[in-house]
């Protein structure tokens, strides 16, 4: 696995295009809260020093508890943990004024919160281990969702593909079409996730994963409905569905697959994963510090602590998700050596199949399509 | 009170009873404030939001837009409503079949273990509904405990319990059956058992005694229980999400979707309001019908 990126990239062009698009869209905004200043200076970074206990807001069980304990011991502070169960839930809590010191947004939510001034700058100079993720040539020096990584530090990365049981089905072709493999009839699961399910259909049809064009949505709807006769359920509980034996072919996240195969089942050789050739959505989670955090200094130290390679390695061995921390990368590559499709490569990070922040109108059009699929 | 103080002058009594009224007033003030602040005001917000719109950035804002309600006249939503209604009715029917015998056995034959038995039924419900649903998922999965048992017993190759409408209804029954057991138990407990003895003395068969004496006497509890099971079952989304299949999407899931992935709080609010209105009408009809029946007794 390499994390370096060539100097000129498709992404650079793409970001340029996006900026143009955003500038063009601006004068047209007539809504109340749309006047959030896009070019406003970002809230200033805090100094990395203890300024109180850490109020921590993350998915449940998404870091090794031993690492959290280690931080508390070393710095003599407590971690006050609360959890969210969706990005929308996380965002609603922050938008409602609740104060957290460290949060874990997915890429497109970094875009949204940065734009709204809800995230503080994280001064890389304050982080002793910054060079573990922001070394020369690292993709994360300038990721698509956070130009120059001003307000976020990369946490994990993962892609969406297909996990399957080699003892139950054969004839997998390396295409999204495999989610229609008749050998898996009534044992096929599609993720119960609007972006992922629509994105999968879009990729199969050769469209952009974010498309909200009516004609595209109609075709995607038809395609997804055609899967229903083979489908067992829509579910994002991919690990349990596979482990419980109900799923033979599962639209799933690479990190979840690694956890299932390496950490859970008795016969890992019966499980395999593919990243379909039409394209695989890639996503990143990040560390961020909300603007209204009460203890941003502690949060800075916490992020720095998690960037220490030994802690990243502990987290990799606990979560089975790859962490883009330079000296921990080899650990994941070793873990994934039997399922290289789960490993993340710079080509994956560069790929354009990322879930972008869409306008409300686009989101609602996509929801309407997804509702029709699920209701039919 | 008169019995406690037979010689007290009338003025004292009046004073005491007015003190009592004032005390009750004070005691009621707190829950009233609580309800107004947290229950009614949130309802009002939902109603107001149902006329709102969403900004381009996904923020819900209040407004005077009735478009959310006209958007509800969609064949897709109607289909989901009918599906949810059928699931909820099946849940009520199964809950009656399970709850009545249980409540009957405890109330009339529980003896001194009555309270312990009721506690045994109630205690598991202190655990989160979500956790209990996950437990069912583990039990019923294709390689789960139940299917392994069936296979070991040589009863075929296992059954796909999960991801079916039956799994969803089963989850709903398990989730809410306690709301049926408790009111039925209470009415059986209150019932004058000499009526059953009288029925037997009059040479009624046990079955006939049950249908002509016991059942009518406990009707109020049963009707109450049906309502308490029906309402949450109709709006539930957890069971369908965790135990359901590709075609078990319910109205609760639809509403949840609007608030989460759909970024459309106003439409979700309109769905909630429409649902509450429909249920209110249903309830009024139901309560009138059942109270007339209860009076006929």
CA-nearest residue to A248 within chain B is: B142
- Give A82's contacts (C-beta < 8 A, 6+ positions apart): A55, A56, A57, A100
Give a yes or no: residue B137 inside a domain. Answer: yes
Q: How far apart are CA B271 and CA B72, in angstroms?
A: 7
In the predicted structure, residue B17 carries a pLDDT above the cut 90 = no
CA-nearest residue to B265 within chain A is: A364
Give a yes or no: residue B70 inside a domain. Answer: no
The mean-pLDDT minimum among A204-213, B60-69, B195-204 falls in B195-204
CA-nearest residue to A228 within chain B is: B246
Tokens of B92: 């009520």
Cross-chain residue pair B262–A231, CB shorter than 8 Å: no
Give a yes or no: residue B59 inside a domain. Answer: no
- Please report, for residues A88, B8, B15, B25, the alpha-carbon distance to residue B11 in angstroms, rounded to integers and kept in the order given: 63, 8, 6, 21
pLDDT at A97: 94
Give a yes or no: residue B150 inside a domain. Answer: yes
Give a yes or no: residue B261 inside a domain. Answer: yes
pLDDT at B295: 62
Q: Are A180 and A326 in contact (CB under 8 A)?
A: no
Mean pLDDT computed over every residue of chain B: 88
pLDDT at B199: 82
Q: What digits encode the pLDDT tens for the residues A42-95?
A: 999 999 999 999 999 999 999 999 999 999 999 999 999 999 989 999 999 999
Share of chain B above pLDDT 90, in %: 60
Cross-chain residue pair A32–B55, CB shorter than 8 Å: yes
Compute the count of residue pairs across chains A and B with CB atoms less than 8 Å apart.
112
pLDDT at A249: 98
Tokens of A187: 């044992």
Residues in chain B, total: 297
B130: containing domain: 75-296
Question: Averaging pLDDT over each range in A26-30, A317-321, B25-29, which range is the top one?
Answer: A317-321
Cross-chain residue pair B261–A193, CB shorter than 8 Å: yes
Q: What are phi and psi of A60, to 5 degrees?
A: -65, 140
Cross-chain residue pair A88–B254, CB shorter than 8 Å: no
Tokens of A356: 């972008």
Average pLDDT value for residue range A190-204:
97
Q: How confident is the model at residue B297 (pLDDT cuts 50, 70, 90)?
A: low
In the predicted structure, residue B2 carries a pLDDT above the cut 60 = no
Q: DSSP assignment, residue A63? A: S
Give a yes or no: residue B51 inside a domain. Answer: no
Cross-chain residue pair A371–B254, CB shorter than 8 Å: yes
Query: Three-state SS across B50-100?
Result: CCCEECCCCCEECCCCCHHHHCCCCHHHHHHHHHHHHHHHHHHHHHHHHHH
Smallest CA–CA separation between A167 and chain B, in Å? 14
Q: How far apart are CA B268 and CA B259, in angstroms?
A: 6
Q: How far apart are CA A108 and CA A358, in angstroms?
A: 9
pLDDT at A243: 95
For testing contact with chain B, the best of A244, A264, A270 (most B CBs within 10 A): A244
Mean pLDDT computed over every residue of chain A: 89
Average pLDDT value for residue range B117-128:
91
CA-nearest residue to B258 within chain A is: A367
Q: How many other C-beta atoms can be found within 10 angstroms of the C-beta atom of residue B265?
A: 23
Q: What digits encode the pLDDT tens for the residues B19-78?
A: 777 888 888 888 888 888 888 999 999 999 999 999 888 889 999 999 999 999 999 999
Share of chain A above pLDDT 90, in %: 86
Cross-chain residue pair B264–A367, CB shorter than 8 Å: yes
CA-nearest residue to A227 within chain B is: B246
Domain with CATH 3.40.190.10 in chain A: 37-156+282-350, 158-281+356-375
The mean-pLDDT minimum among A20-24, A151-155, A208-212 falls in A20-24
Smallest CA–CA separation between A244 and chain B, in Å? 5
Give a yes or no: residue B98 inside a domain. Answer: yes
Q: Are A184 and A169 in contact (CB under 8 A)?
A: yes
Q: What CATH number did the domain enclosing B233 receive?
A: 1.10.3720.10
Interface of B with A (CB under 8 A): 54-59, 61, 76-77, 79-80, 134, 137-138, 141-144, 147, 160, 162-163, 241-242, 244-247, 249, 253-254, 257-264
pLDDT at B37: 86
pLDDT at B192: 87
What does A150-219 look like in DSSP terms, one character per residue? SSEEEEEEEEEEEEEETTT-----SSGGGGG-GGGTT-EEE-S-HHHHHHHHHHHHT--TT---HHHHHH
Q: How confident is the model at residue B83 (pLDDT cuts 50, 70, 90)?
A: very high
Torsional sign, CA B89, B92, B98, B100: negative
Cross-chain residue pair A371–B257, CB shorter than 8 Å: yes
Smallest CA–CA separation between A366 and chain B, in Å? 8
Tokens of B165: 């409408």
Average pLDDT value for residue range A251-269:
95
pLDDT at A3: 53
The mean-pLDDT minimum among A307-311, A322-326, B125-129, B184-188 falls in B125-129
- Give B23's contacts (C-beta < 8 A, 6+ positions apart): none
Q: How far apart are CA A190 and CA A105, in angstroms?
A: 23
Q: Which of B97, B261, B209, B103 is nearest to A374 (CA)?
A: B261
Cross-chain residue pair B241–A375, CB shorter than 8 Å: no
- For the purposes of burial, counting CB atoms within 10 Å of the CB of B134, is it exposed (0-12), middle (13-18) or buried (19 or more)? middle
Q: How confident is the model at residue B293 (pLDDT cuts 50, 70, 90)?
A: low
- For domain A158-281+356-375, the CATH class is alpha beta
User: How do beta strands A249-253 and A102-103 pair?
Assistant: unpaired
Q: Are A372 and A221 in contact (CB under 8 A)?
A: yes
Q: How many other C-beta atoms can be found within 10 angstroms of the C-beta atom of residue B279?
A: 15
In the predicted structure, residue A27 carries a pLDDT above the cut 50 = no
Q: Which of A169, A157, A117 is nearest to A281 (CA)?
A: A157
Q: Are A34 and B56 in contact (CB under 8 A)?
A: yes
Q: Are A66 and A314 in contact (CB under 8 A)?
A: yes
Q: How far apart are CA A287 and CA A106, in angstroms?
A: 9
Give a yes or no: residue B8 inside a domain. Answer: no
What is the distance in angstroms between the CA of the first residue and the CA of the last residue of chain B? Answer: 34
In the predicted structure, residue A34 carries a pLDDT above the cut 70 = no
Residue B261: its chain A contacts at CB < 8 A? 88, 193-195, 363, 367, 370
Residue A195: its chain B contacts at CB < 8 A? 261
In the predicted structure, residue B15 carries a pLDDT above the cut 90 = no
Q: Are B33 and B26 in contact (CB under 8 A)?
A: no
Smallest CA–CA separation between B247 and chain A, in Å? 7
Tokens of A346: 């710079």
For testing contact with chain A, the best of B56, B77, B158, B171 (most A CBs within 10 A): B56
Q: Which of B57, B137, B144 has its CB closest to that of A33?
A: B57
- Give A348's contacts (C-beta < 8 A, 6+ positions apart): A157, A159, A275, A280, A282
Smallest CA–CA separation between A360 and chain B, in Å? 5
Q: How many separate domains does chain B show?
A: 1
- Give B267's contacts (C-beta < 8 A, 6+ positions apart): B68, B71, B258
Q: What digits encode the pLDDT tens for the residues B222-259?
A: 999 999 999 999 999 999 999 999 999 999 999 999 99
Long-range CB contacts for residues B134-139, cutoff 8 Å, separation at least 24: B134/A240, B134/B242, B136/B167, B136/B170, B136/B171, B136/B174, B136/B242, B136/B243, B137/A237, B137/A240, B137/A244, B137/B162, B137/B242, B137/B243, B138/A240, B138/A244
Q: How confident is the model at residue A10 (pLDDT cuts 50, 70, 90)?
A: very low
Q: How confident is the model at residue A12 (pLDDT cuts 50, 70, 90)?
A: very low
Q: What digits encode the pLDDT tens for the residues A106-148?
A: 999 999 999 999 999 999 999 999 999 999 999 999 999 999 9
Q: How many CA atoms lie within 13 A of B151 on its CB side?
A: 11
Tokens of A274: 């593919």
The mean-pLDDT minimum among A24-28, A74-78, A169-173, A355-359 falls in A24-28
Smallest CA–CA separation between B248 and chain A, in Å? 8
The fold of the A37-156+282-350 domain, in CATH, is: D-Maltodextrin-Binding Protein; domain 2 (3.40.190)
CA-nearest residue to A111 within chain B is: B57
């Amino acid at each position: 696995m390499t994390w370096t990126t060539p100097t000129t990239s498709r992404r650079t062009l793409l970001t340029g295009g996006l900026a143009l698009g955003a500038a063009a869209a601006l004068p047209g905004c007539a809504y109340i809260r749309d006047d959030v200043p896009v070019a406003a200076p970002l809230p200033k970074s805090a100094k990395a020093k203890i300024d109180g206990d850490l109020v921590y807001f993350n998915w449940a069980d998404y870091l090794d508890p031993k690492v959290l304990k280690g931080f508390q011991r070393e710095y003599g502070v407590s971690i006050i943990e609360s959890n969210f169960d969706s990005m929308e839930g996380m965002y609603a809590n922050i938008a409602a004024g609740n104060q957290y010191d460290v949060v874990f947004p997915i890429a497109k939510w970094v875009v949204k919160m940065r734009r709204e001034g809800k995230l503080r700058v994280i001064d890389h100079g304050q982080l002793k281990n910054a060079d573990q993720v922001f070394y020369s040539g690292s993709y994360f020096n300038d990721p698509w969702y956070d130009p120059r990584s001003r307000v976020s530090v990369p946490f994990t990365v993962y892609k969406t593909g297909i996990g399957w049981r080699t003892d139950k089905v054969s004839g997998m072709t390396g295409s999204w079409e495999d989610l229609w493999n008749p050998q898996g009839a009534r044992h096929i699961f599609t993720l119960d996730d609007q972006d992922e399910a629509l994105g999968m259909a879009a990729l199969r049809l050769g469209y952009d994963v974010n498309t909200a064009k009516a004609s595209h949505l109609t075709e995607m709807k038809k395609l997804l409905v055609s899967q229903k006769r083979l489908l067992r359920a829509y579910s994002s509980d991919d690990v349990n569905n596979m482990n419980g034996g109900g799923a033979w072919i599962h639209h799933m996240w690479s990190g979840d697959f690694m956890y299932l195969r390496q950490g859970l089942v008795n016969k890992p050789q019966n499980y395999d994963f593919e990243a379909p050739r039409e394209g695989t959505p890639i996503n990143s989670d990040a560390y961020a510090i909300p603007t209204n955090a009460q203890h941003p200094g502690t949060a800075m130290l916490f992020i720095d602590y998690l960037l220490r390679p030994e802690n990243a390695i502990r987290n990799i061995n606990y979560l089975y998700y790859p962490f883009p921390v330079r000296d921990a990368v080899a650990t994941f590559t070793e873990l994934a050596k039997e399922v290289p499709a789960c490993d993340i490569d710079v080509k994956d990070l560069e790929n354009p199949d990322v879930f972008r922040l869409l306008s409300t109108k686009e989101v609602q059009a996509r929801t309407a399509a997804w509702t029709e699929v699920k209701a039919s | 009170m008169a019995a406690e103080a037979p010689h007290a002058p009338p003025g004292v009594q009046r004073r005491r009873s007015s003190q009592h009224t004032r005390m009750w007033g004070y005691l009621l003030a707190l829950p009233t404030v609580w309800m107004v602040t947290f229950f009614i005001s949130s309802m009002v917000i939902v109603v107001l939001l149902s006329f709102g719109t969403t900004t381009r950035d996904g923020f819900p804002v209040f407004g005077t837009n009735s478009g959310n309600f006209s958007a509800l006249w969609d064949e897709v939503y109607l289909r989901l409503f009918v599906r949810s209604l059928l699931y909820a009715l099946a849940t009520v029917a199964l809950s009656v079949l399970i709850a009545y015998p249980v409540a009957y056995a405890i109330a009339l034959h529980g003896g001194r273990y009555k309270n312990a038995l009721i506690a045994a039924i109630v205690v598991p419900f202190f655990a989160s509904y979500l956790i209990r649903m996950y437990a069912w998922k583990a039990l019923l999965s294709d390689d789960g405990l139940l299917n392994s048992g069936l296979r070991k017993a040589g009863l075929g190759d296992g059954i796909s319990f999960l991801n079916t409408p039956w799994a969803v209804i089963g989850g709903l029954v398990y989730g809410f059956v306690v709301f049926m057991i408790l009111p039925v138990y209470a009415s059986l407990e209150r019932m004058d058992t000499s009526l059953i003895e009288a029925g037997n003395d009059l040479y009624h068969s046990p079955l006939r005694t049950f249908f002509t004496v016991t059942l009518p006497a406990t009707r109020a509890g049963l009707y109450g229980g049906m309502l308490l099971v029906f309402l949450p079952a109709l709006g539930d989304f957890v069971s369908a999400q965790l135990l359901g299949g590709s075609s078990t999407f319910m109205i609760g899931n639809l509403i949840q979707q609007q608030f989460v992935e759909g970024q459309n709080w106003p439409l979700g609010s309109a769905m909630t309001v429409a649902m509450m209105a429909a249920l209110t009408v249903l309830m009024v009809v139901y309560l009138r019908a059942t109270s007339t029946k209860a009076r006929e007794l």
